Chain A
Amino acid sequence: MDLNYTPEEQAFQLEVRAFLQASYPADIQEKVAKGIALKKADYVTWQRILNDKGWLVPGWPKEHGGTGWTPVQKYIFEEECATANCLRLVPFGLVMLASVLLKFGTEQQRQQYFPDMLQSNVWWAQGYSEPNAGSDLASLQMRADNKGEHYLVNGTKTWTTHGHYADMIFVLVRTSQEDRKQKGISFLLIDMKANGVSVEPIITVDGMHAVNQVFFDDVKVPVENLVGEEGEGWSIAKYLLQHERTNIAQVPRSKKQIQRLKALASNEQCNGKPLLEDSSFRRKIAEIEVELMALEMTNLRVLSKLSAGEPPGVASSLLKVKGTEVQQAITALLMEAVAYYGFPYKKDVMLDGWQDEPIGPEEAVFLAPHYFDWRKTSIYGGSNEIQKNIMAKAVLGL
């Protein structure tokens, strides 16, 4: 065993660092560092810079624009991005749909969708969940009836992140009623501007608008927008679950957040001394650091297996549960660090930053909303209960 990066990996790390320093826009970095809400334009700007460099889609095969990096290089890239406060790329098109099209799509579909995806001309959303199909995704009801030239789509999708930004959405729909609910599901690409598509905002606990309910009322979708075979949707969804999960543990980001927590706690006062010197507060940070240390090593072990060509398998469930627990614990401590300054709620500041003198520490106003918002991470992407069910069944044979 050897934890150290090889000389080549070290050189790569320096290359990434230099690139981020030179090319990552300062205004976006400031927003991410402070927690100010990001706009679509911020994502587009950074994605285009990365694309120009050829680093937008490290997960893709080289012939389609991927980087050809090893798993360790990908990890280094992620780590450097987190350290530099890079925004987290929206995975729906660039990671999720792309891996589906690579595996199940036709060459024509890849030709049609990849260039606009890489240039950030077309924005994708993920339409899986429905009001009555959350954890039990296979019970989804949205229908697509094959009318020869087109499908006629009716139903609704909900929790659609960035649905209000999206030009296109990939959805799971029911194309036939079968004996098992997992059968008869298909994977379809729908133009958000098509007649009959409407979007309703859902405001979340932090007062922000990122998720939506999307309604489909007699929407005509050309048959060539089917991905894979009719009825193959569930296999595609399962495939995605194993492949969308490379950075699921978010270790680099949590390390960065711990640094931020320590910086904050060293500026806050407790009985005339920095809060960071308060032994019980320091100990609570340490509790999280211990978890994070274990998580990082587990993540690296999974990575090492990946490098040797083994699939991550159910390790992604473990990484998801532990990763979100650590992230959520950090958001709680950040909020605790500012004591009474967690109370003020300023939506305008969350959107645009302070235009006048901050109330208390500059970042305080973001911390309670962030804590509440981050509860979502143990709910979406397969809830933590569902991940434990998966591990119980698949690992322990229960």
Chain B
Amino acid sequence: MNLELSEEMIMLQDMLSKFLNKQYSFEQRQTLSRNGIGYSEDNWQQFADMGLLGVPFDEQYGGFGFGQMGLVVVMEAIGKGLIVEPYLASVVLAGQLIQQAGSEAQKHAILEPLIAGEFKLSFAYVERQSRYNLADVACQAEKQGAQFCINGNKSVVFNSETADKIIVSVRTSGETISQSGISLLLVDKDAAGLSTRHYETVDGLRASELSFNNVMVAEDALVGALGNAYEAIQTVIDSATAAVCAEGIGVIAQLREKTVEYLKTRKQFGQALSDFQVLQHRCVDMFMHEEQMRSLAYLAAIKVSDGEAVESRQSVSAAKVYLGDARTIVAEQAAQLHGGIGVTDELDVVHYVKRLTMLNSLFGDRDFHMQRFCEA
């Protein structure tokens, strides 16, 4: 057994830290987040140049084959820098879905430009009624000759505004809540009949509502077997869930560090706030949560890489439960311990707090994953 990061992973980590230190200050992040498309295309190209966009993909498609552990390293840095570029949407979710379910031809045609930073994807899987159930798909696609005709809606689709294509989960047969009968279709972002509503999210990212009105796509837009996409979706969402747990480590570590630093400098009653034992204990709770979160995130990554279904599901859900707990133990306490400035827009800590909080609502909240853990 060896639970240390490999040399390659450490190099990746170093490269990412350099990038964050050099060109991803909080102020730069806020400027990106609040203007234009919500991130920097230049940064995206740099991600491509650094090889980040190929981290989880097999070498035969131009990737690095670093798998889930590679994603852990990248996502922790994304958390640390509150990075707004669409890595989760394009690489972790949609790119991996192509790798998981796509045909050889699709993988070559899509992953290569994706890894080069020339092509972006996003994945539409949430619906008004679906909550966190991936099988709750009402958006329909009907086979009409050599085409599919799509009708329905998708919600809170991250970074679809800047994606070249959107992968959409659709129902091609079966009841609304049924694992069978779900298919994946690649839709052009400018497809006729597709209307979009783009918006900022509470945590400084971008998302959209999509509405499909007789959107026609060719037969070869199908990714994976007809009606059989559920398992691939589940596998990729599990990988993404494990990945955001790694992102969570980065966010938690920043909150712990910044809170401890603040308590040491802020004086009230003639002493540093860090002298108050009750506040020390809160920081220690954050620290313990950070270590345990790291353990569960690593475990989830290992199990996801191993691919054994039950253990993988269970460890991913365990990690996500822990990430949900970080809201009260880390995010709320970080805000509280900063006093008044802990609720101001100007302070970086507040934006880490927001991200950590919103992570609970991504891919299933604490309740959802506790339930899934029980059932696994």
Contact = CB atoms under 8 A, between A and B. Distances in A.
A393 B226 CA distance: 69
A114 interface: no
A11 interface: no
A204 B177 contact: no
Interface string B334-376: 0110011011111000100110011011100101001100000
Given A269-B130, A344-B156, A345-B202, 9 more contacts: A134-B268, A135-B268, A136-B269, A205-B345, A339-B361, A343-B207, A375-B332, A379-B339, A380-B340
B143 interface: no
Interface in B50-93: none
Interface string B264-277: 00011110000010
A268 interface: yes
A201 to B, nearest CB: 10
A368 B358 contact: yes
A116 to B, nearest CB: 29
A207 interface: yes
Nearest to B176: A272
Interface string A264-306: 0000111110010010110010000000000000000000000
Given A271-B177, A280-B371, A339-B131, A139 B268 contact: yes
B346 A203 contact: yes
Interface residues on A, range: 35 or more
Nearest to B177: A272
B131 A270 contact: yes
A351 interface: no
Contacts of B361: 335-336, 339-340, 342-343
B201 interface: yes
A280 B367 contact: yes
Contacts of A272: 129, 136, 176-177
Nearest to B155: A340
Given A135-B268, A371-B357, A275 B156 contact: no
A372 B367 contact: no
Interface string A324-346: 00001000100110011111111
Contacts of B342: 375, 379
A189 to B, nearest CB: 24
A377 to B, nearest CB: 10
A341 B345 CA distance: 21
Contacts of B209: 359
Contacts of B340: 129, 134, 158-159, 376, 379-380
Interface centre among A134, A205, A281, A368 (most CB of B within 10 A): A205
A134 B339 contact: yes
B170 interface: no
A144 B340 CA distance: 25
Interface string A352-393: 000000011000000011011101101110011100100000
Contact of B354 (A132, A332, A339, A372): A372
Contacts of A373: 343
B122 to A, nearest CB: 14
What are the 10 tightest A-B residue pairs by CB atom distance, in nearest-first order? A136-B268, A269-B129, A340-B156, A203-B345, A343-B201, A368-B202, A345-B202, A136-B269, A280-B367, A205-B343
Main secondary structure of the interface of B (DSSP, over half): mixed
B199 A346 contact: yes
Contacts of B133: 270-271
B128 to A, nearest CB: 6
Given A134-B339, A270-B131, A368-B202, A281 B354 contact: no
B353 A344 contact: no
B156 A205 contact: no
A371 B136 CA distance: 28
Interface residues on B, range: 35 or more
Contacts of A383: 336, 339
Contacts of A380: 340
A359 B177 contact: no
Contacts of A336: 360-361, 365, 367
A318 interface: no
A284 B367 contact: yes
B200 interface: yes
B126 interface: yes
A315 interface: no
A336 B357 CA distance: 10
A150 to B, nearest CB: 31
Given A159-B340, A341-B155, A376-B343, A280 B370 contact: yes
A283 to B, nearest CB: 9
Contacts of A371: 357
A343 B156 contact: yes
Contact of B201 (A136, A205, A344, A375): A344
Contacts of B362: 340
B311 interface: no
B188 interface: no
A203 B199 contact: no
Contacts of A328: 332
A280 B132 CA distance: 14
15 contacts: A139-B270, A158-B340, A268-B131, A269-B136, A271-B136, A281-B367, A332-B327, A336-B365, A339-B132, A342-B358, A343-B203, A360-B155, A372-B343, A375-B342, A383-B336
A340 B361 CA distance: 6
A354 to B, nearest CB: 12
Interface centre among B133, B343, B357 (most CB of A within 10 A): B343
B357 A135 contact: no
B278 interface: yes
A202 interface: yes
A375 B370 contact: no
Given A339-B365, A372-B353, A203 B268 contact: no
Contacts of B176: 272
Contacts of A343: 156, 201-203, 205, 207, 358, 361
B48 interface: no
B279 interface: yes
A341 B268 contact: no
A157 B346 CA distance: 18
Interface in A196-214: 202-205, 207
Contact of B336 (A159, A207, A378): A378
Nearest to A338: B361
B353 A359 contact: no
B285 to A, nearest CB: 14
Interface string B189-233: 000000001011111010101000000000000000000000000
Contacts of A270: 131, 133
A205 B350 contact: yes
A340 B357 contact: no
Interface centre among B335, B339, B362 (most CB of A within 10 A): B339
